[in-house]
Structure 1
Amino acid sequence: MRTLVLWDIDHTLLAVGPLTRTIYESAFTTVTGQTLAAHGVPSFAGRTDRAIITETLLMHGIETSEPLLQRLCHEFATGFGARIQEIREHGRVLPGAREALKALANRTDVVQSVLTGNMRPIAISKLAAFSLDEYVDFEVGAYGLDHGERAPLVRLAQLRAAEKYGEPFDEHSTVLVGDTPHDVRAGHHGGARVVAVATGASDEATLRQVGAELVLPDLSDTPTVITSILGTASEPS
């Protein structure tokens, strides 16, 4: 049986700095005609694009509709696609991320993808900017427009992987790697084991407190990362 490894992107594999907000502000103004208020952006960390955009509209007194949501998403994704060079210049791959992705991609007993709050085009743009896209199977990932919450994304990714690879994936054969309490809770409520990395705003103690099976300081020790991920997948509940 293969292990399905689902990576969070932002602050787990890479960081793009303030560019995300810049692109978001531009997309919001283009679509709504309003300037994004200084207090009018909810926290991005660990949340889906669908939830973030919906809440932003509500904070600005704009009635949410699916067509408006889709227009904003399209503009946001287009902005990222047009700024690949800027992402490359101002962002960075976090220590050990490339090596971990490559090591898992070379294994026949692993299916590797992403579980991210980013919508799919943005996820692809971010990873492609640093040539990380070759290591993951985007077809079996789950993304920020698939659902407003992260936990249901786990099951969705499992179903997509099962359909493509012809074998079931469950909580014993799925590992979510992320940097926030949202990631840990998503794994536990969605049906995955969790390896957390303290490379974002949450420290190791916080990630342990919310129940991560394992917490690593970062991804820099490739053998430890791989052993942690695959060992966690095989542990009984």
Structure 2
Amino acid sequence: MMHKLILWDIDGTLLYSGGVAGEAMRAAMTRVYGRPSDNERRAYAGKTDQQIILETFPDRSPEELLGRLDVFTATYLDILNEWAEAFRTRGRVLEGVVAVLQRLQAEGVVQSLLTGNLAPVARLKLNLMEIAGFFDFDSGAYGSDSPRRIDLAPIAAARAAQCYGRVFATTDIVVIGDTPNDIACARAAGARAVAIATGPFGVEELRAHAPDAVLPNLADTEAALAAILAD
């Protein structure tokens, strides 16, 4: 069994929601805060849901905005559940993902999540795409834990240590994502950074942020495993 903690980003890395998740988030913002974010997808990329809310309403206090986070979360979940069929129809698991998840599972590593999604939203998205079974949700870190993505890797490492009764060395933690923020998050924690160019950033854009490995996608299972599991 390999003593590695693999932390996956969701949107643009594991799956693409066909725009449904963004629409649901904007609808929830409108219901709870009075208007939606007008950011286009690239502006959302790699940010936590809390950060997006704070940036959307700079004229309001963080205390007021985050004081309603539970209401926002419940509203967002309700809308996503209402739109589940559209999510399944328009969304997809990205190429090569399932094969890589299966191989990592066979290696005995811990697979969890490091995502800007609020925790229950993360679980729902993966359930809707039928890949939730690969992940230990209790060892992950989410947009509900902090507005700052850079805070999330140490949170996940601490949770995994508690779940498994052993400390994961920073060199045994791998952060996989599709944005410069994912790379920065790994770097801040001393973890390995694997960038996948299946989101809004291309291979060269990601390479400029100096990840340990960058892949165009996860279609080549062997190349993906080599990038993720390299010591």
TM-score when normalising by structure 1: 0.90
User: CA–CA distance in 1 between the matches of 2:172 and 2:51?
Assistant: 28
For the residue of structure 1 that corresponds to 2:175, the secondary structure is: strand
Deviations 1:59-93 (A, max 9, x none): xx444423223322221122223332221111011
Question: How far, CA to CA, are the matches of 1:24 and 1:156 in structure 2?
Answer: 24
Which residue does the alignment assign to 2:227? 228
What are the residue-to-residue correspondences of 1:27-106 with 2, within 5 Å? 27-32=28-33, 34-36=34-36, 38=38, 43-58=43-58, 61-64=59-62, 65=64, 66-106=66-106
Partner of 2:114: 115
Q: Distance in 1 between matches of 2:73 and 2:227?
A: 35
1:204-219 matched pairs, under 5 angstroms: 204-219=203-218
Amino acid in the other structure paired with 2:174: V
- Deviation, 1:3, is 0.5
> Residues 120-147 of structure 1: CA distance to partner in whole angstroms, max 9, x if unpaired?
1111111111110000101101000101
Q: Conserved in 2, the CA contact under 8 Å of 1:49 and 1:117?
A: yes
Aligned to 1:126: 125
- SS of 2:68 mapped into structure 1: helix
- 5+ long unaligned stretches in structure 2: none
* Pairwise CA distance, 1:37: 6.2
The Cα of 1:42 is off from its aligned counterpart by 8.8
CA drift of 1:224 comes to 1.5
The yes-or-no answer on 1:193 pairing with 2:192 is yes
Q: How many angstroms apart in 2 are the aligned matches of 1:93 and 1:123? A: 14
| Residue 38 of structure 1: how far off its partner (Å) | 4.1
Indicate conservation of the 8 Å contact 2:113/2:137, yes or no: yes
Deviation at residue 167 of structure 1 after TM alignment: 1.1
1:12 and 2:9 matched: no
Contact 1:105 1:136 in 2 (8 A): no
Alignment length (residue pairs): 228
**Cα deviations by residue, 1:16-53 (Å, 9 ceiling, x for unpaired):** 12212321222122223x34364699921000011111
- What amino acid does structure 2 have at the position aligned with 1:197? I
Structure 2 Cα separation of the partners of residues 137 and 37 of structure 1: 31
Aligned partner of 1:68: which letter?
A: R
5 Å matches for 1:166-205?
Answer: 166-205=165-204
Higher alpha-carbon deviation: 170-179 or 13-22: 13-22
Amino acid aligned to 1:133? A
